[in-house]
């Protein structure tokens, strides 16, 4: 059952999965991603000299808002009463990148993986938007789920890749 797609009904039509019979459990998802940029752009972000202001502060708020708006963006996602969204944005001068990590929690009947992935992607998109005037070549990569816990399937952790 775990490998079957559940977003289709018996007729093969897309539908919202009924999670009403699932137990309410504490759930968490942790995701990550990076945006690579020129050394000059990263320096502007780190020094706070970008004309648009506090790039990382605004991206952090955007990521949190993105997690909260996930069911408005992904058609079959359930609205979830999130209890916490933590978002870290860490400049990585050795990679000319900003690393983003999001941890999203709820007490609910379905997981928060999509909310955590949305948080990272909206935060990185906000960095791109704020810096595109000086660096259109920025690239977002390495976006993915690190771990999740809660629910019937329990804890899952991504194996090291490389």
pLDDT at 17: 84
Q: Which two tokens stand for residue 55?
A: 């790039």
Q: Which of 18, 88, 129, 142 is catalytic?
A: 129
DSSP 130: H
pLDDT tens digits, 109-122 = 999 999 999 999 99
Q: Is 90 exceeded by the pLDDT of residue 22?
A: no
What is the Cα–Cα distance from 147 to 29, expressed in whole angstroms? Answer: 6
Is position 54 annotated as part of the catalytic site?
Answer: no
pLDDT tens digits, 25-82 = 999 999 999 999 999 999 999 998 888 889 999 999 999 999 999 999 998 899 999 9
Q: Is 50 exceeded by the pLDDT of residue 139?
A: yes
């Amino acid at each position: 059952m775990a490998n079957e797609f559940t977003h289709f009904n018996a007729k093969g039509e897309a539908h919202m999965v009924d999670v009403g019979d699932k137990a309410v459990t504490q759930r968490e998802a942790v995701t990550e991603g990076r945006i690579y940029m020129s050394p000059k752009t990263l320096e502007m972000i780190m020094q706070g000299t970008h004309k648009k202001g506090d790039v990382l502060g605004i991206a952090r708020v955007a990521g949190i808002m993105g997690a909260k708006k996930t069911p408005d963006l992904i058609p079959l996602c359930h609205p979830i009463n999130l209890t916490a969204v933590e978002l870290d944005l860490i400049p990585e001068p050795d990679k000319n990148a900003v690393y983003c990590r999001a941890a999203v929690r709820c007490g609910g009947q379905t997981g928060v993986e999509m909310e955590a992935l949305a948080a990272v992607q909206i935060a990185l998109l906000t960095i791109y938007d704020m810096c595109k005037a000086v660096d259109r070549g920025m690239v977002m990569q390495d976006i993915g789920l690190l771990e999740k816990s809660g629910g019937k399937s329990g804890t899952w952790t991504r194996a090291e890749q490389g």
